[in-house]
Amino acid sequence: AGYWNPAGLATIESRQLHLMHAERFSGLVDHDYLAIARPGRRLHGLAFGLMRVGVDDIPFTRLQDPGRPLGPDNRPLVASTATSADYALYLSGGHRLRPRLAVGASIKMIYRSVGSFSAYGFGLDLGLRYRLTSGLSLAATLRDVTTTPVVWNTDTTDRIQPSALVGIAYTTALAGGTATALVASRTGGEATDADATQPLNAGIEYWHRGLALRAGLEETRQAFGIGLRPHRRISLDLAYLQHDELETTYQFSATFHF
């Protein structure tokens, strides 16, 4: 919740440990996330999270003979490799303003490294959740509210533009289990397409006796997943995401309640 929508922390009832690992594009990009959350008093939920997104072993090449042009007898050689990685440290809190309304915020510190270059940044994300009626909820997240600056050791500064994610979800009892359907749209940042249309995400989930089946669309890409509760204090999730131009993505996560 600290990453997706910190307002979700307002409803946690126990301490939680969340671990996630994703192999994006068949291992080209590694995405890891660790978070610890607990209920609070003044803030009804608190969380600490650490995320890493990285590409390892990026090859840097040179010609066998730099003084000659590229040719069949002067091919590129791998001279060295480097890693590109983004780290983000989150401190998040959620609070119930009213029985139906919860808000939250995440302060984040960003560290980026590409070879010998590095950068630091600080940002703020805000979240909101509102229960419209029984089973129907609205949620919104505003990321990088202050146009997050990322300052490099080369005396240059990048800025992450604000973006907003708004979604609505409906949950109901179905065939002895629980079904949830949701739709969401993202705008700002780099989410807007060239034709000015907004990306639309949608998904469905069905829980029955400790097993969940999931399907969805991230823009035009299909996603499928399953969830398991082998114990009342343990949740396991596996997701698969297709991509039109790159390889598929697999994501595994586990949540422990204690």
Mean pLDDT of 168-172: 97
| CATH code, 120 | 2.40.160.60
- 71 belongs to a structural domain: no
Summarised one tens digit per residue, pLDDT across range 130-143 is 999 999 999 999 99
Which backbone phi and psi does 9 adopt, to 5 degrees? -65, -20
Say if 182 falls within a structural domain. Answer: yes
The structural domain count of the chain equals: 1
Rounded Cα–Cα distance for residues 200 and 22 (Å)? 22
pLDDT at 230: 93
Question: Is residue 197 very low, low, confident or very high in pLDDT (cuts 50, 70, 90)?
Answer: low
Q: Is position 1 within any domain?
A: no
70 in a structural domain:
no
| pLDDT over 90 percentage in the chain | 68
Q: In whole numbers, what is the pLDDT of the chain averaged over residues?
A: 90
| Residue appearing with tokens 């919860």 | 102
Give me the residue label for tokens 């309640």.
Answer: 257
Average pLDDT of span 67-93? 88
DSSP state, 8? G
Mean pLDDT of 185-194: 69
| pLDDT (average), residues 223-227 | 96
**Domain assignment present for 127:** yes
Question: What's the CA gap between 251 and 238, in Å, rounded?
Answer: 6
Token pair in block for residue 30: 């590694």
Closest CA to 3 of 38, 51, 43: 51
In a domain, 72, yes or no: no
pTM: 0.83
How much is the pLDDT for 192? Answer: 47
Q: For residue 211, is it within any domain?
A: yes
| Residues spanned by the domain of 124 | 6-62+77-257
Structure tokens belonging to residue 182: 């949701």
Site of tokens 């139906």: 100
Token digits for 65?
A: 């003979």
What is the rounded distance in angstroms from the CA atom of residue 43 to the CA atom of residue 61? Answer: 52
Mean pLDDT for 25-48 is 90
Q: What tens digit of pLDDT does each residue of 113-125 get?
A: 988 899 999 999 9
User: Does the residue 229 lie in any domain?
Assistant: yes
Place 190 in a pLDDT band, splitting at 50, 70 and 90.
low
Q: What is the DSSP string of 111-160?
A: EEEETTEEEEEEEEEEEEEEEEETTEEEEEEEE-TT-EEEEETTS-EEEE
